[in-house]
Structure 1
Amino acid sequence: MRFPRPHSLQSKFLIGLIATSLVIGGILYAVFSYYMGKLLEGEVHAKASMVLAQVDSVQSYVRHVLRPAMYVKLPDAFVIEAMSSSYISRRVMSRISDGSTHHVYRRVAIGARNEDFEANELERSLVARFQKDRAAQIWHGYENIDGVRHFVMARPVVFREECLRCHGTVEDAPVELVERYGDRGFGHEADTVGGVDFVGLPVTASVARIHGAITTYAIVFALAALFYFVATNIIFKRIVANSVRTLTTSFRRNFQDDTSMALYREVERGDEIHKITAGIERLSDYLYETRQKLQNYATNLETMVEERTSELARLAQARQSDVEMFARLLAGSSRSQSRRELWRATLPLIAERFDLERTVHLCALSTNRHYSWPESDEPPALPEDWVSLLSESRPLIEADRAFIPEESSPGSAEGLLCLYHKPGRSFCAQDRAVLIAIGRQLGIAAENFAALDSIMRHNANLQAVFEGITEPLLLADSSGSPIVVNEAARALSRDLSGGASDSGNIIGLLCGMGGQTGDCDISRSIGMDQVLSREVALPGGRSFSLSIYPVLANGADESGRAVVYVHETTRQKRLLAQMNQAEKMATVGKLASGLAHEINNPLGVILCYGELLRTSVPQGQPSDDVEVILKHTRQAQSVLRNLLNFARPKVATDKAVDMVPVVRSVVDVFRIQAEKQGVRIEVAVDGPVPPVNAEPQAVEHIMANLLLNALDMVPESGGQVFIELGHDPGASDVVLKVSDNGAGIAADHQPFIFDPFYTTKEVNKGSGLGLAVVFGFMSDLGGSIVAGNLHPEEDPGREGSPAGAVFTLRFPAASQPQEEA
């Protein structure tokens, strides 16, 4: 192979190519090295984050599952191997730092309880960093540990309030910790950084593998570049030289004079590109001189060309005007909201384009309906066969007027476009195609308006039906997000969200809590293509029935949808429960009435003879035995009185009673007992409270039973009973709420608490008739009683109190309130 001369064009080209290849190779090497480094950093970052996440999982399990369970099993002991989150997480993660893999995990502190986990110099610097920047949550970087380069990730260990039992003062710490570690590891305060979680992953081997891959890439790139240079050197000269040779051969064939042949031989003798280029430049100068000579012979031809060019320019201007007119017609039809606006927007544009005197749209259904520009009530002058023009889709173009059917397709004419020229003006042959296209465009626009009007009418009808449905109805996608909702659905979303949202997104409000599937089984209904029904119960006691009707997708690109019908069943279920309770109460009442009468007489005899016997026996053991007999006899009579009250409640009356003084008087009676138990009773009256038609003794009995239950349920120290009395004008009810901060009502007890003889109290502490009697009184009054549990967030006035039971009683307000004497 012959190498080019050092200063030839080919040599310069190859040198530039080599320099460019080196620059590109260097850039690729740098980019590849940077990318591989970032890839390695991302991988080790993810692994380190996974280690910290595993540590969090272990500590969360200890804090929220294992430690509480151990406190239940061993309330007075502290087992560090099962209750210390730091100890357990270090033991679980100890296999990471076994030394064979150079992986490091350490949970260290300054002044650590165990000297093995005292922070070293690097770890102390990280603790200082987090103490200085409290907003920092993580730090990562590269450090050399024992001669091995590691990727290090660290996060602060913050002492929370619950950590201070073991890390606060020595006096408050478990005895087991003090005996095991002495006074080390104490004295920390809440929300302070005392240590770090430290994870180190070795990267030396990975960096070596990356460098090896990059070196291999550089060698392959160099070999490919060498092959590319050799091939380019061969191809460059052959292709360029052959192209120039082809060019000179063409000159030789077309130019046979002496001057041309001399220039051709000079070009052919050149063996370098710059010489060939110089010869071609001289040949170009010769051609220029020859061209100047030819121009002298083309003067007449140029004049003809100018005339033809002028005519073509005029035609091009006309076509440009047509394009602009069609664009304005399209814009005008897009802005129009009705057919009248369509003709008002388009007819002036057509008249302007053809310089017309008048433009008219004639409706195909009636000649009395037409739109004219300029506006005029005068009907247009039509040809005798104008009807056949419409039926046959045939345009008629005369010298001074034209009639064009407005149709999107043959046989579907919307009207007739009538065009009238000014005097002395006429249509030309080139206008025919443009006018037919205008008629087609107007026909399409009019047809679109007809379709749009039909769609709008159908949509309005469907919307009226949709909004007229009184139950919540919505169209939702497969995730439960609403697409279309009616007013009832929007009202329900406002109700369930407390006025925060009126978007109608009731699926998330109904099924997005309590561990339920967030889409109310909509995706399952769509996937199965079956109608599904389900019941949803909310924490507040409301319940809903959902019927899901899947709608098939229109195409593969459209996800499935479903129509969801929502019906609230709260009232029906409540009425059914009340009916069942009333039936049970009636049945038990009959039984209780008979039993009370049959047993009460023998008890009276026992009590009478017991009183006589007490006066005749000597003091001592016989007298005490008689007192036991009398005590249990009176207790049995009390149960019988409750049975009679339950069987025959006579609480309704025509006399109105003021609830406020009655409630306060009962509270005053029980206040002494409550103070002895360390329980606080509060009464709150919300505004004026109307009287109710009830016997005061019945109200006192109801309050007494509820207060006795509350005092039995609250803790003896720090207990609280809260009584609220108010008026609900909407329901015309007096509302009485009795709540406490006890343990609340268990879910499995709640359906039975109003049943006679059902009690959760200890033996001899309750007969199980108190709430049953209250239920009977409220039924006789025409009111209601509902039991539930009270959560702290439901009562801002008692923030911080634990959950307890709440009884809500509704008394019908008296229709004619009586003034107190």
Structure 2
Amino acid sequence: MKLPRPYSIQSKFLLSLILTSLVIGGVLFAGFSTHMSQVLENVVREKARMVFGQVDSVQNYVRGILRPQMYEELPDKFIIQAMSSSFVTRNIMARDENEPSTFTYRRVAEKSRNPSYEAKGIELELIKYFRENPQQQLWEGYKNIKGEKHFVMARPAVFKKSCLRCHGKIEDAPVELIELYGNRGFNHTQDSIGGIDFVGLPVSASVAHIQETIMSYIGVFLLAVLLYLGATNMLFKRIVANNIRILTTNFRRNFSDEKGVALFREVEQEDEVGEMIGGIEKLSDYMFDARQKLQDYASNLEHMVEERTGELEQEATARQSDVELFVQLLAGSSSSQSRGELWKVALPLIHKRFNLERTAYVCTFSSKNFYSIPETPERPELPDNWVELLTDSVSLILDDRAYIPVESSSGSAEGLLCLFRKEGSSFREKDRGILRAIGRQLGIAADSISALNSIVRHNTNLQSIFEGISDPLLLADGTGAPIVANESARKLGEELSEGCITDGGVVSLLCQGWGDSANCGISKSLLMNEALSREVSLPEGRSFAINIYPIHHTENPHERRVVVYVHETTSQKKMLAQMTQAEKMATVGKLSAGLAHEINNPLGVILCYAELLKKGASGQSAEDIEVILKHTRQAQTVLKDLLNFARPKVSSTTGTEFSGIIREVADVFRIQADKQGARIDLDLDESVPKLNVEPQALEHIVANLLLNGLDAVPENEGRLKVSLAMEGAEQVVFKIMDNGPGIAQEDLQYVFDPFYTTKEVNKGSGLGLAVVFGFMSDIGGSIEVENGDEDKGELSGAVFTLKFPLTAKDK
């Protein structure tokens, strides 16, 4: 690489950049060092205050709670391990010598009772400081302890009135203290400073780490400076130095006579700019001599040259104004948040640049709005062919006015920029290109603002949808770690981890029992490019359904993503278990009813005839007949108890909100409905009063009817409609209907019989509707079934109507 001359403008420019970089680097180094030192000092100061806070907590507990209680329990004893605040504090704050020390705590005194806690060195200096400055309650600063720099925080230990029992006169002190320490540590007075609480935190390692970090940043800064200098040198050489060199070369070539060569030899020792300035000065002298010679021959040309020079100056000024205009338009478009703001910024700039009478923008395709400078209520007049101007991307520029399509590309114009000159002035031919460029730039800026607003709006909508999903949903990487999670996923993570995980990382929490596949098969789903479903159960009894959907947006397996959808199935499983139990209990009830019917009749006959025989019997026969009567009645009691056990309790002493039960059961069955492509619609009157019915009975009723409906509706088009309302003031009507095939007319009278079903084999036991019928009978209500009539607004399938009577308590 060829180095620049030491006196060239390129060398001077590089030297200026190097000096500037050194100054900036020095300022940054000093500021960063100061900031990091302040941060370190704030951290260690806060740690020291935390240690003092812990010490205060222990001492307050001993002085305010433990010591008074001990005096109350053992008034004649002094147990130092429980009643001395200093002893308890030192032992609690003591650290294992084998563990790395993060701080040093000492509670020391001058002429200490325990020689191990005698103040020395720095501690004595601090005791002296507090005695000389009694108004000071805290000292903090840096000290060297055992050759290592420490941040030290100390406070005076002042003897209060409660301390003088053990530290005052020796004759008042507990015998145990005298036996343990002799006569050391006595004869202190109230409010005197006997010692200090001392906390030291080592900072040498932290300072070294900060220095290493600063040096690393300096290295990065120097590397960046070198890269910046190299790039700037190349750009400067290409953009500035080469062009100046070309200019000076042209001077040499155009003035190659002996006098011109002599001029350049005089100035070529300067840098390029100096060479240009010197050359121009010498050239002006040279040209002046030539001008004197030609003046007599070209006196007529002088006037023409002056006019042309003025035109060129005006042209240069105009082009500079155009550049400034485009820069200001670019800055205005960057700061504008809407199209209206863009026009309010752009129109005044255009108006000022071309010294116009009126500047306006007309939105011709959308709202018919317009913006005008100065502001007027009248819309500017458009040419007759304005539609062709927009569709053909053609500008109409007349002497006193111009109509420029505002478009980002040809054929995409949506408005016209209307410019009106002041009277007596007109647009020049050279202004046409500038005006077209302004229209294109404004069109691009307007489209950019619209695109940005659309992106922000769509992002907001997607975020609202994502956060609005009630079940946990997250986007995870191949290991199950969350990338984005909704609020439900974050709440579930906090709940399962007891607040430790707040980023929605529920995969690791739910899949801990899957062994090597602790991410519930996410790796397998990505490898097979298939959606997977998992059922997991937690030790505390909760269960979840996990659905994994792979997203192949890249060929790199390490960058692939999955969508994880989690749904808690605990309530659903509990409901299914309750339904199974209800069917079992219903079966026992029906069997018991059959037994009662078949056995109670013979028992009644036996009881009747035994009563008749007893009237005519005497002696031993009467006693035998009494035995028969006793055991017959006992058998009837056993059958009655069996029936009472099998029949569930439906009445309740407390009210049950029926609409809430319906909503909970419907939420459970919506999972099954979604899998079938079915929909469950609820129309519930919230003013319905509470019913004195057990919640379990109502859950069984709703669950059985919903399950029957889901079994009957067609795949992917199923629909169930559930309603709850008052009928008069005496009863509540619960109705459920579906769009299935309905029930055959000949089967309607048997649907509530036990073990009667129209479903396929192994799809139902025939007890569900019998159980519901039994519940309604026990409640005192009724249940009816019919096929729906679409003319009445009902669905075409089966319609079950349940009526619950209201008691005085319900009302």
TM-score (norm 1): 0.35
TM-score (norm 2): 0.35
